[in-house]
Chains A and B, each alone.
Chain A
Amino acid sequence: MIVITENIIKIEEYINESNDSSSGSLLIFCGTTRDNNLGKSVDYLEYESYVDMAKLKLKEIADFSISKWSLNNLKIIHRIGKIEISEISLLIIASSSHRNESFRAIEYIVSELKKSVPIWKKEYYTDGESWIGSPDNPN
């Protein structure tokens, strides 16, 4: 399941349907928005996406991960729009027979997402704003 949404991500909405009797591992990763970056105090963030392409890239990453690590279930949910501090911007839920597969898959998914999925993050400070990934504010 791939979801890009402007709504608040509620883990409980996705977790129940992720469990299955053939899995011994159900791993949840939450990317959350923090209140500081590079010594600056962050008030909130905004995410923008090229949604159609982002869904396509996430599906490629998901399909590869399911195949490589024999995942029984995988959900990737990314939020866009304005996100307050400490809210979830990224939720990944992976289930597999054993824990190693889920751990490796999630590490790979987050890493690939940050390299190739067309989503952009902008931080807002009390005294300005900055796109992450720009030369003066690397990802």
Chain B
Amino acid sequence: MKITVKLFGPHKEKLKKDSIFLSLSDNSNISDLILNLNQFEPGFKENIKSYAIAVNLIYQDKDFKLHDGDEVAIIPPVSGG
């Protein structure tokens, strides 16, 4: 399945890109996606501990199952206001 990963703030700046397109095997969940993203950012699975993850605009846990066409957002600590 095809997944779009959106990056924001300091994370986007660090990777110098605002999105990543991944192909994952069926039945993948967010934990699988995190492992896959490690190829773009060594150490990502450690850094992700301070980030949240949203799928199709809703915060989700790491065992959340992904589906073809999902938009996954990696959310660094927010600082609005």
Contact = CB atoms under 8 A, between A and B. Distances in A.
Interface stretch (A10-18, A66-74, A96-104, A108-116): A108-116
The dominant DSSP class at the A interface is: mixed
Q: Is the interface of B mostly helix, strand, loop or mixed?
A: mixed
Interface residues of A, number: 29
B10 interface: yes
A119 B6 CA distance: 14
A131 B75 contact: no
A122 B6 CA distance: 19
Interface in A53-93: 53-54, 56, 78, 89-90
A52 interface: yes
Interface residues of B, number: 18
Nearest to A31: B81
B23 to A, nearest CB: 23
A121 B79 contact: yes
A53 B80 contact: no
Interface of A: 31, 47-50, 52-54, 56, 78, 89-90, 110, 113-122, 131-135, 139
Interface of B: 6, 8-10, 13, 50, 54, 57-59, 73, 75-81
A115 to B, nearest CB: 7
Contacts of B57: 52-53, 56
Given A53-B54, A56-B57, A48 B8 contact: yes
